[in-house]
Amino acid sequence: MSQISNVLPFPRGETYAQDGAITMAATTASELEGKLYRVEDSLHGTGEDVILRCVRCSAAITVAYKLMSFAAAKFNLQIDGISGTAGEVCKPLDDKYASDGAITTIVQYDLCYVVEEGPCDILSAAGGITTTALEAVGGDGAGAIKDSIPTAGQAVIGTAAENMTVAATAYRVNVRGNCHPSDAAG
């Protein structure tokens, strides 16, 4: 397993280039890709730790409470946009970006954080969801959380933080560090 640092290379809610302050290329700061960082959950007030993974955006993305897909040949190193396949292994963009609202777009090749493990708000599927606390949740194929328990072969993103029946809105999930398709079966 990778070492986890307690010192972020750039502040949570910001990107490496921070709105173009640095011109990014495909290899700028490549030593940071995939690195894990532990921070206290000051955003939700849980007092729990959040493990963030530093990833590169292979294409520009719009900031939202959404699940991100990993680039095929760069799993855990680069994201290529909003998750587009139901049940795929993906991670949510750090919800600090959306809650702060200071950044609306992360430019191509910039570095940002996804939540590897810990509490994170993620948009619910269109039409809302109904789920119970600790129920496993997966992605709906449109970057959101679906309320049905993922089936065998689909990745578990995490577990519901509480009983919820909500319209399409940000929804608290306890993201799991190891989200393998086999987790859904048991």
User: pLDDT for 2-36, tens place per residue?
Assistant: 689 999 999 999 999 986 778 899 999 999 999 99
Give 56's strand partners: 78, 111
C-alpha torsion angle, residues 28, 33, 36, 38 (rounded to 10): 30
Q: What would the pLDDT profile of 156-180 be if each residue is shown by its tens digit?
A: 899 988 887 766 578 899 998 765 4
pLDDT on residue 2: 66
Helix (H, G, I), strand (E, B) or coil at 99: helix
pLDDT bin (cut points 50, 70, 90) of residue 184 is: very low
Q: Which two tokens stand for residue 76?
A: 């855990």
pTM: predicted TM-score of the whole model, two decimal places? 0.90
Please give the structure tokens belonging to residue 6.
């307690």
What is the number of other CB atoms lying within 10 angstroms of the CB of residue 167?
9
Residue holding tokens 């760069």? 74
**Residue 80 — very low, low, confident or very high, per pLDDT cuts 50/70/90?**
very high
Q: Is 11 exposed, middle or buried (0-12, 13-18, 19+ CB in 10 A)?
A: exposed
- Exposure of 32 in the CB half-sphere (CA atoms within 13 A): 23
Cα–Cα distance for residue pair 65/55, rounded to 1 Å: 16
Task: Identify the CA nearest to 52 among candidates 70, 63, 40.
Answer: 40
Whether 159 contacts 152, CB under 8 Å: no
Residue, of 96 and 132, whose pLDDT is higher: 96
